[in-house]
Every structure is written in C-alpha cells, then in structure tokens.
Structure 1
Amino acid sequence: MPHRYKVREIAQQAGLSEATVDRVLNDRAGVRESTRAEVAQAIADLDKQRAQLRLNGRRFLIDVVMQTPRRFSDAFRAAIEAELPAFAPAMVRARFHLWEAGATAQTVDALSRIRGSHGVVLKAQDEPEVVEAVDRLVAGGVPVVTYSTDVPSSSRCAYVGIDNHGAGMTAAYLMDQWLGPAPSDVLITLSRTVFRGEGEREVGFRSGLRRSGRAIVEVSDSDGIDATNERLVFDALERNPRIEAVYSAGGGNTATVAAFERLERNCRVFVAHDLDADNRRLLRDGRISVVLHNDLRADARLAIRVLLQQHGALPVEPVRTTPIQVVTPYNLP
C-alpha cells in the first residue's frame, strides 16, 4: 500500500529488511507484534525528524490574550515561557495582553490591535462581539486557540483545556460524598457568567447535586478579584446560615475563606480549581479540601503546537480535552 515514506527509508530507520517492512505495511500474516511495533516506532521517528526540518530556522510570534485574575495569568504566563524553548529549532516568541476585569469591549479592542501575529491563545467571554473579533483575525490568516473557556461559534481552530461540564460533575460527586447525610447548603462562586467554561462547570455541578436535595446559592460577577468576592460571599453567608460548603468555579478563594472566618462559620468542604500560588497555600494549610487541576505546561505546549500546525510547521494531531487531576494536601505536586 502507498505510504508517506519509502519502504527503504522505514527499513533503514527500523534496522529491518525491506521485505519485512513491506509485510508490515501491507498487514500480511506471519509478522511478530514486536516487529510491527518496531516499524510503527520507526515511522514515528521519521515524522519527528521531518517536523524538525520544517521548524529549522523559522520564527513565530504568538499573542496570549486573557481577562483573568493575576494569580492565574501569572501561572499561565510562566507555563508558556517555560514551553517556548521546546519548539527549537524554531524560534517562538510570545506577547502577553493580560488584565483582570473589564467589559467585552476591552477584549475586542485587544484582539483588533494585534498585528504581525502567527496565532492567538485566547481566554475570553463567549459574546457575539468576541466571536466577530475572532472571525476577523482568522479571516486575516491569524489562527486562534481558545483556552480554559471556549467561544465555540467562532472560527477558532481548537479549544484547549478541561471538560468543564465534567469538572463540575466531579466537584458535585466529591462534595456529596464528603458532606454525607449532613443537610448542608452549598455556595458556588463564579467570576463572571459570560465565561462559557464557568457556566459549563456550574451546569455540571448542579446536575450532579440535583438528587441530593441541597440548596445551591450562587455568587457571581466578582471577576475573581478578592476584595469584590469577599464582600459578595460575606453577604451570601449572612443571608444563608445553612451554607457549609463551597464549589469555587471562578477563583477568589482566599477571599471566600476570609468571609467564612469573619463570620466564624465552618466550611466543611471546599472544592477549588487550579494550583495557583493562593490555592497551594490554602491546600497546605487545610483551608480548602481539594483542587481540580490541569497541567498548565501541558496546556501551553498543546496550544502552541496547534497554532504551529495551522502554519504547516508541525504534523496535525487531534486535540483532546486535558485530564483533570484531583489534588489533595497529600499528593500536592
């Protein structure tokens, strides 16, 4: 059967005879599985070498555009910068456009000012104006990857991140297991409802707790900023004395813990997202119960790879959702 490499090339790479490689490629009988594995590995090695040749001497500039609390943008920026050298012999550089709070217009403006870019990694609101801004970039030859929260109706080439609905279901499962028969109500905190990822987490969480009979109290539109979040959580706790657990879909966890402490209220279970500096400290100190985490460096590497694939610099590979890690104080990396 035809193949992207000559039989001779594969045979040389695998250290096998051309006849053996031909039998493997044509799926003939009488070939050991170990030999088939050697041929598959040789082809993978040739793919890698071809990709290296395509990258040699090429320069790429990517833009990272995010509205998110600084604790998260700092962590993701560090992940991007750590992964850039991995794409050698190509030279990949990154520009960062990061802010904590603002209207959709700020995101649209940031996207409209991008020039000379080979691709954008975007964490933004799922709003019609953002869809239009993404579509304009893509029409102009600039591919866009959405990260952490999707804008699915846009022309973005891929979404990189966790299955947010599944994360919400996981949080509900842990919450219900740990609360047991206690009739505790649950607080869910969101940074802003226009972020699709947080909305999907909330839907998953509510679905997972539907049969528990627990009341779910929502706090939103804090942008994940501590001062705003503490005030909103404090008010919610004063109005709802039965709240004894928290699912933080949008961050601001130091502030949420502080609101419980100001009222001398016990938080029996606290499920959070992302191993940023605040959550590491809170987890070590026993202030939160568990963190649902994904490897930011793996996410950064995948996002950059997808952008380079759009320029034909790397072979196309399928994009899969990032696995969720359940991190407790006892397996904290």
Structure 2
Amino acid sequence: MNGYNSKTIFKKVFIIKRFSAKQIAAQAGVGLATVDRVLNNRGNVHAQTVDKVHKAIEELEGQYQVNQIKGRTFYFDLLMDTPARFSEQVKSAILAVIPEMASYKIRFRFRFFENISTEEMAKEILNTDRKQCQGLIIKASNLPEIRECIDKLSKKMPVVTVVTDLPESKRVAYIGLDNYSAGQTAAFLLGNWLPTSQAQVLSVTSSEAFHGEEQRQAGFLDGIAAYPHLSVIRISGGQGLANSTEKHVISACSYYKDQIRGVYSIGGGNRAILNGLRYIGVKSPIFIGHDLDAENTFLLKKRYIDAVIDHKLADDARAAIQFLLNSYRKTPLISAYQSSINVITPFSLPPRATAAKR
C-alpha cells in the first residue's frame, strides 16, 4: 500500500475528486493523458512527472483551503507583559499590516500589562477562550504556570509567541529575533568599540523570567568572553520601568562607578539606566540597546546611546498573523520565520525616525 493507510487513501481520493483532470494537468503543466496514467497507476510515466502531478494536486488543495476561508472574520488577541512604549509599537505594527490581509476580516483586541503577576497573566490566558477568539499572540514570562495555561488554550486555538519564546509550551510558532545571536552582536560591538584597558560593562535585564532576555544574556556573556579585559556587572529586576530600573542601577553600580565603560541594555528602560549612571557619576559609556522606539530614537539622535539592535516589527506582525491563519488554512503559507538583526546607529536612522521629536 506504499505506506498509506485506508484513511490516507480515502483523503487522497476525495481531494482528487475535488479537481478535474484538466485542472490538475494545467497546474502540473502536463497533458491530460499523463494525468490519467498517474491517477490510475497505469505506469509508463517518469518518476519526476509523477511527482509533478502529485505536487500540482497539493498546490490545488492549498489554494482550495485558502479560498474556503476567504471573507471569514477572525478575532485574534494580542496579550503582552511589557512596558507601554513597546506594546504600543507592536500594536502599531499589527494595525499597519492588517489591510494586507484583505482576503480575511481580521479583528484584534489588545490586552497590555506593564507589571502583571504570574497568577493574573495565567487568568488572562485562560480567559482568552471566553472572548470569541480564534487565536492568541502573546509575550509573557517563561514560567511553568504560564506554559501550562498556554498548553490548555492551544487545544482550542493556535497560540504564537512574540519577542520572547515559551519553548517548552505547545505554541505553534515563535516570532522574533534569534536572541542569543543578538546578545553576541552586542558583545562584538562593545568588545571592539571599547579600549583594551580593564573595564566593567553592565548587562541589564528587566526580568530573569523572560526567555528572550535570558537568551540575549547568554549570547552576550559567551561573546564578551573573547575580550578578557572586560568584566560584566549583571543587573535584573527593573521590569523595564523607569523608577525601578534607575534604583537597581544606582544600587548595583555605585561601587564600580570609576570602572564602568559600557552598557548592554537587554530589557529596555534606557533613559532610566542613563539617569542612574549619571547620578553616581558615570558619564558617556558606550551604550547598546534594543528596539527603535521613540525613546531610543531620541537617545540615538542626541548621541546618548551608540547603537540599537532592532528588527522590523511589521514583518513580525505579518508572520504572526499568518501563522494563526495557517491553522485554519490547513496548508500553511509559511512554515518558519525568524527576524533579521539590524544594528541602527545615529547615522543610519530611518527617515521617519530621524524626523521624530523629543
């Protein structure tokens, strides 16, 4: 039976009956007689031609599945545990790409939290099912309670993680940077930009619970090991929020204020980091941040920071929506996606960002 069970054979026969031999021949670029020989196993057909006919049937089935859901309304939720400056960026990216999905009516609901507890986030995830929702895009901490809720929800709808992954959960895809490589990139920049004298560099995360920040930190520490004159001061717990981040920097760095020469800001709050360093007397460190939001655009323009590791949120938003739709198309349009790492300096700001005001 060539490895097919009866259910598989029935499915293949059903799909073939959905399309005429003329349609299959046109899609494959072969003659009707060839299609007839392939479908009826009459032999005398080159293996490559047989594969071409089978591939044509798969392509027709994919197009059929897409057409079946055209015009359908989908309600998707975006749930994020992140500072408002970043959640608003993601929201803008989502709204910008929705018109591209003109074949479908897509409605998004946005649920943003700056400092939500694990218990509250777990409830928010499970409540998604009560909101007439067909899919969830989420940024959340990588904790067992959160993964358990994702697994429960995934039985009823597709879930996609963005920015930071939940790799042991049953989400259908992670959309975002290779965060380990992003950390290595930051280490490369600092290692080459700083003098070869002994110095301290800060590595600042918002929380140790986010997998993406954990991966950035790991890549940075591995990368900075190639520069033995640099030692790392690790700071965490500010949640990327201004007051708490500034306090953490002041508390952790006062003793090392004369040795600090560089900063890698993994979790954001860059203005707060700079304020904390200025408070203890550290001036003009080489500073690498993440994400080209309004705050970082201003800091780059003023040369308060030196580079931002960025990626195109619109591309991420588009991919996230397509992965959710894949679950309803049955035949995916994309099967994998990873954001490109872009290093933005004061001299490579995009035109719109260059025009940004304080």
TM-score in same-fold range (> 0.5): yes
Q: Does 1:293 align with 2:307?
A: no
Aligned CA distance change for structure 1 residues 46 and 229 (closer, same or farther; 3 Å): same
The aligned residue for residue 320 of structure 1 is 337
Map 1:165-204 to 2 at 5 A: 165-204=180-219
Map 1:250-269 to 2 at 5 A: 250-269=267-286
Larger radius of gyration: 2
The aligned residue for residue 238 of structure 2 is 222
CA–CA distance in 2 between the matches of 1:331 and 1:12?
A: 48
CA–CA distance in 2 between the matches of 1:314 and 1:328?
A: 41
CA–CA distance in 2 between the matches of 1:10 and 1:287?
A: 61
Does the Cα contact within 8 Å between 1:260 and 1:267 map onto a contact in 2? no
Deviations 1:72-93 (A, max 9, x none): 0000011111112211121011
**TM-score of the pair, normalised by structure 1:** 0.86
Deviations 1:120-140 (A, max 9, x none): 11111111100110111012x
Does the Cα contact within 8 Å between 1:246 and 1:267 map onto a contact in 2? no
What's the CA shift for 1:52?
Answer: 5.2
The aligned residue for residue 127 of structure 2 is 113
Unaligned runs of 5+ in 1: 29-35, 37-41
Task: Decide which moves more: 51-60 or 291-300.
Answer: 51-60
The aligned residue for residue 87 of structure 1 is 101
CA–CA distance in 1 between the matches of 2:280 and 2:61?
A: 60
The aligned residue for residue 145 of structure 1 is 160
What's the CA shift for 1:239?
Answer: 1.7
Q: Helix, strand or coil: the match of 1:233?
A: helix
CA–CA distance in 2 between the matches of 1:164 and 1:107?
A: 23
- Runs of 4 or more, structure 1, over 4 Å off, are 2-14, 16-19, 25-28, 42-52
Q: Helix, strand or coil: the match of 1:282?
A: helix
> How many pairs does the alignment contain?
320
The aligned residue for residue 39 of structure 2 is none
The aligned residue for residue 347 of structure 2 is 330
1:125 pairs, out of 141, 145, 150, with 141
Aligned CA distance change for structure 1 residues 47 and 288 (closer, same or farther; 3 Å): farther
Q: Helix, strand or coil: the match of 2:332?
A: coil
What's the CA shift for 1:236?
Answer: 2.5
Q: Does 1:278 align with 2:295?
A: yes
Does the Cα contact within 8 Å between 1:85 and 1:91 map onto a contact in 2? no
CA–CA distance in 2 between the matches of 1:117 and 1:210?
A: 46
Task: Decide which moves more: 210-219 or 280-289.
Answer: 210-219
Task: Decide which moves more: 261-270 or 278-287.
Answer: 261-270
What's the CA shift for 1:166?
Answer: 0.8
CA–CA distance in 1 between the matches of 2:71 and 2:293?
A: 35
Does the Cα contact within 8 Å between 2:62 and 2:329 map onto a contact in 1? no
The aligned residue for residue 68 of structure 1 is 82
What's the CA shift for 1:50?
Answer: 4.7
Q: CA RMSD in A?
A: 3.0
Q: Helix, strand or coil: the match of 1:330?
A: coil
Does the Cα contact within 8 Å between 1:186 and 1:247 map onto a contact in 2? yes
The aligned residue for residue 247 of structure 2 is 231
Q: Does 1:205 align with 2:220?
A: yes
Tell me which amino acid in the other structure corresponds to 1:235. Answer: S
What's the CA shift for 1:48?
Answer: 8.5
What's the CA shift for 1:263?
Answer: 3.4
Deviations 1:221-248 (A, max 9, x none): 1110011111111222312121111000
Q: Helix, strand or coil: the match of 1:311?
A: helix
What's the CA shift for 1:8?
Answer: 5.1
Tell me which amino acid in the other structure corresponds to 1:265. Answer: V
Q: Identity across aligned pairs (percent)?
A: 35
The aligned residue for residue 31 of structure 1 is none
Deviations 1:173-217 (A, max 9, x none): 111010141322100111110011101110110011113222111
Aligned CA distance change for structure 1 residues 17 and 156 (closer, same or farther; 3 Å): closer
Tell me which amino acid in the other structure corresponds to 2:219. Answer: G
The aligned residue for residue 264 of structure 2 is 247
**TM-score of the pair, normalised by structure 2:** 0.80
Unaligned runs of 5+ in 2: 1-11, 36-45, 351-358
